[in-house]
Amino acid sequence: MTDMMKRTSREVIDPIRRFLEGDWDTSTIRVEEFIDGTTQVVRAEMPGIDPEKDVDITVMNGVLRIKAKREEKTEHREKGGYRTEFRYGSFTRDIPLPVGVKDDDVTATYSDGVLEVRAPVPEETNPPSRKVQVHRP
């Protein structure tokens, strides 16, 4: 199993930590992660947001953090009635990046309600092996 496929304890523990800290009402951002050649791709569902003012993406200590806020108001005016609905909230998602990803190489795009973050994964550099001779005493 490669480093990219392994789940870290931080990923497994994060939902438990949020629950214990009383953060169970905060919605999470639904994402899909996959490797495209030599790039880790994270796609997040974010319909109805303005990525320039409502999204904050940071990379620190090998973790990609996506924070977003949504404020949406819908009004329905009809004869004899008026109805309005509000949907709002803030969302955060932390995603561990493969070892060696450089912060400056991470890019993001937004199209049709989907945020896509791409992080080039460096090739694994394994030091050359050396055969060790077994000697008899």
**Is there a contact between 118 and 40 (Cβ–Cβ < 8 Å)?**
yes
Q: Give whole-number Cα distances, 78 to 74, 81, 83, 84, in Å.
A: 13, 5, 9, 11
pLDDT 10s digits, 121-137 = 888 756 678 888 899 98
pLDDT 10s digits, 20-34 = 554 444 457 889 999
pTM metric for this prediction = 0.63
Per-position b or e across 44-81, b if 16+ CB within 10 A of its CB: bebeebeeeebbebebeeeebebebebeeeeeeeeeee
For the cut 80, the answer to whether the pLDDT of residue 5 exceeds it is no
For the cut 90, the answer to whether the pLDDT of residue 19 exceeds it is no
pLDDT at 27: 56
8-19 average pLDDT score: 55
Q: State both tokens at 10.
A: 């931080």
Mean pLDDT of the chain: 79
Spans of all domains in the chain: 9-120
47-67 average pLDDT score: 91
For the cut 70, the answer to whether the pLDDT of residue 8 exceeds it is no
CATH of domain 9-120: 2.60.40.790
Cβ-proximal residues to 35 (8 Å cutoff; 6+ apart), any chain = 4, 41, 121
25-46 average pLDDT score: 85
